[in-house]
Amino acid sequence: MSDLADTIQESASHSHETKLNAWIAIWVAITATFMALCNVKDGNIVQAMQQSQAKGIDAWSFYQAKSTKESIVQNNIEMLKVMKPAGYEALVAKQEEQVERYEKEKADIKKQAEGYQKDYDAINVFDDQFDMTDALLSISIALFGITSLTRKKWLYYFSIGASSIGIILGLAAFMKVSLHSDLISSILG
């Protein structure tokens, strides 16, 4: 009779472990699949950030080139005023028109460069959010593995919590809803 009771208890225990492992496998599959999708989207975001940053650098370089040209023209104006060659007033007026043109062009370029920086900053929020998602999902997969070995229910629920928070952050990033945490970003950054 004792052997029968032991067999029944073993069978019940084995059934419970099988169910737990099945649920762990389901959660790992969901978590890993969502993490893969987030990694693809994050890669696209990083490319957009790089493009925005490159355009910003180009714009600031163009701004600097206009500043250099403007400085050269201003030096020409000063030299013309000192040397006072024949008809220098017309030459000075023409050079002053160039300075005004450069000032206007620089203002437009500056606005464009600052726009690229704003685009970069706006995109970076979601890059950070996907990074936090990736970290939480990776941690949860590791915790699911430990749960499978230890059979600790509290660890199973903790793993589900980490995975769920990661999925929520990822879904929010996909929908362009900022759940950005400066504290977490500073820790991970």
Q: Which of 13-17, 22-26, 47-51, 107-111 has the lowest mean pLDDT?
A: 13-17
Q: Which of 79-83, 96-100, 137-141 has the lowest mean pLDDT?
A: 79-83
Look at residue 188 in the predicted model and tell me its pLDDT: 58
Look at residue 8 in the predicted model and tell me its pLDDT: 46
Q: What's the angle, vertex CA 151, arms to CA 149 and CA 157, rounded to 5?
A: 115
Mean pLDDT for the stretch of residues 133-138: 96
User: What is residue 21's three-state secondary structure?
Assistant: helix
Contact 134, 38 (CB under 8 A): yes
Mean pLDDT for the stretch of residues 157-174: 96
This prediction has a pTM of 0.75
Confidence of residue 86 (pLDDT cuts 50, 70, 90): confident
Mean pLDDT for the stretch of residues 8-36: 83
Q: Residue 8 has what DSSP assignment?
A: H
Q: Round the average pLDDT of the chain to a whole number and report it.
A: 90
Look at residue 5 in the predicted model and tell me its pLDDT: 54
The share of the chain scoring above pLDDT 90, in percent, equals: 80
The share of the chain scoring above pLDDT 70, in percent, equals: 87
The torsion of the CA quartet 169, 175, 179, 182, rounded to 10 degrees, works out to: 100
Confidence of residue 15 (pLDDT cuts 50, 70, 90): confident
